[in-house]
Structure 1
Amino acid sequence: MENIQTSRAQLRRRPRVCRQFTERFFHGLFLMLGLVTVGCVLLITIFLVLSGIPAIRDIGLFDFLLGDTWESTAQDPKFGILPFILTSVYGTAGATLFGVPVGFFTAVYLAKLAPLRVKSVVGSAVSLLAGIPSVVYGLVGMLILVPGIRTLFHVPDGASLLAAIIVLAVMILPSIIKVSVTALEAVPHEYEEASLALGATPVETYFKVTAPAAKSGIAAAVVLGVGRAIGEAMAVMMVSGNVPNMPSIFGSVRFLTTAVASEMSYSSPGSLQREALFSIALVLYLFILLINAALNFFLKRSKEG
């Protein structure tokens, strides 16, 4: 009898031991994957710092960041990236200004107002838009948007900062819409029911209750959109003219990303030109880090408030 009871106790103990082992295994696996991600970020950071600092030291920090002339292949080369910095800032800000409101209102419509059939069709279109390669955006912009700007505004060349802003605004829409829809749908329905019970209309509820409750997810969507806008190269290279001018809305310009992409292929290994291109990549990387840090700071501050 005692042997039977001991066997039963062992059988009951085995599933518990298996569950504990499984939990520990997956906990260790997820921890390892997280450390791998952090390690990749650290390796990229170290590589960019080691590759970009020598050119900044040789050129001079202020001459590099505040110089307004980029002539990397001239007999007396100059490596001023201020036009690239301003172009990237203006282009990203313009794309965000146009893309974020459109993406947010589309997300609210899809998450709360759209019929199921419309939501399915538009959601499929958004997913398809997210899967289109950037070179296709650039090709469509080069064949349709650039001639349209030239004809509409009577400018010599439609390849300009305006064309790049429009293309980037379209490209960031899928990221903003999909993440915002997920965040809005994750808000508990009790919030909306309480608002409706107090006499608010559905539209007021969605914009004054649901959207504020989902602001962290919407902010993450904006961060993803800004990251794609500031890091895009191929599409903006095809529609911006890729000329190192100081930025103007109808002028041909060059972004930080396109400066690296357009000259890296023919720069000599070990030359100051290639080192300067790595320095541009370092500046771009720091820009993205600062944008993410600033948005996270304001989000944390708003939550504490």
Structure 2
Amino acid sequence: MNASKREAIDRLLKMVFRATGLVTIGLLGGIFFMLLFNSIAFFAKGNPIDFFTGSQWNPGSDAGNYSILPLLASTGFVALGSMMIAVPLGIFTATFLSELAPDTLRTILKPVIEMLAAIPSVAIGFLGIVLVGPAIARVFGIQNGLNALNGSILLAIMALPTIITISEDAISAVPKTYKEASLALGANKWATLFQVTLPAALPGLIAAVMLGLGRALGETMTVLMATGNAAALPKGFLDSIRTITATIAIEMGEVPYQTTHYFALFAIAVVLFIITLLINLLGEFFANRLRKFHA
């Protein structure tokens, strides 16, 4: 193949890759502006102050209460609870795989952990109904276990593969010279791990947490099945909740077209879109810091 043909192929491939990237950006922008356009129609009819500060989401009432606050609080409850479980478990598991596990055990555990991401969310939600929920009800002596705690446990399971995989990569990327220098100065294995290795991998660990949190915030079917779907301000993890994603999934299929209720669902979708986008951007920021740090 002569030089002119290679140059022509290179230009063609560059154009294809550039077009693919632009299409992806265009699709993302189109989705956002579609959500934004419909949410503006809601704010033109409703009161934005009530939307963000009210205490009820009750479209079926005579007054038509459309407040995102109980949905946002429910989403925050279940996401925070899932991270309280998944972050320490995920980081310690990643540390074990990277620094302590024998090679044979590592080759077995890594594929098993990654396979967790392939389990359908509806299957995890079903386990929450038949196993986790009844167990919570027995332990805490409550009527049923369909509450924020149930959703937090299930979302933690779903976020673990993301957190473990990215954390393990971040810990493995710490240069061996750091560890060797620490050991040479007289630090033992555990001091080196907690005072050198993990702090050096901190940008990657933060990226893992951010991306795991984004995974938890965007989940729909699991929280729809396992949290009770009560659209009220939660007071604790044993209260039934309804997240933003579950509300959209439940109500969008039956809401009359171009009504206030219809546009209100787009408004809460925009809020969720912005929150998830910011979290993913933070995750990418810290991941890029890790790559530059070890470049």
Q: Would you say same fold, with TM above 0.5?
A: yes
- CA RMSD in angstroms comes to 2.5
- Which residue in the other structure is 2:273 paired with? 285
Tell me the secondary structure at the aligned position of residue 20 of structure 2: helix
**2:259 is equivalent to residue 271 of structure 1:** yes
Paired residues for 1:214-225 under 5 Å: 214-225=201-212
Aligned partner letter, 1:273: H
Distance 1:189 1:36, change over 3 A: farther
- Which residue in the other structure is 1:201 paired with? 188
8 A Cα contact 2:211 2:280, kept in partner: no
- Which residue in the other structure is 1:39 paired with? 26
- Which residue in the other structure is 1:123 paired with? 110
Distance 2:32 2:189 in 1: 47
- Which residue in the other structure is 2:243 paired with? 255
**2:175 is equivalent to residue 192 of structure 1:** no
- CA deviation map 1:12-45 (0-9, x unaligned): xx76666655554444443333323322221121
Distance 1:186 1:19, change over 3 A: farther
Paired residues for 1:65-214 under 5 Å: 65-214=52-201
Shift in Å, 1:243: 1.2
- CA deviation map 1:182-207 (0-9, x unaligned): 22222332222222222222333233
For residue 30 of structure 1, the aligned residue among 17, 30, 33 is 17
8 A Cα contact 2:207 2:282, kept in partner: no
TM-score between the two structures when normalised by the length of structure 2: 0.89
Distance 1:192 1:30 in 2: 40
Distance 1:293 1:128, change over 3 A: closer
Shift in Å, 1:235: 0.4
Distance 1:210 1:41 in 2: 37
Unaligned runs of 5+ in 1: 1-13
- CA deviation map 1:239-271 (0-9, x unaligned): 100111211321111001111011111111112
Shift in Å, 1:223: 1.7
TM-score between the two structures when normalised by the length of structure 1: 0.87
8 A Cα contact 2:50 2:67, kept in partner: yes
Aligned partner letter, 1:119: R
Unaligned runs of 5+ in 2: none
Shift in Å, 1:156: 1.8
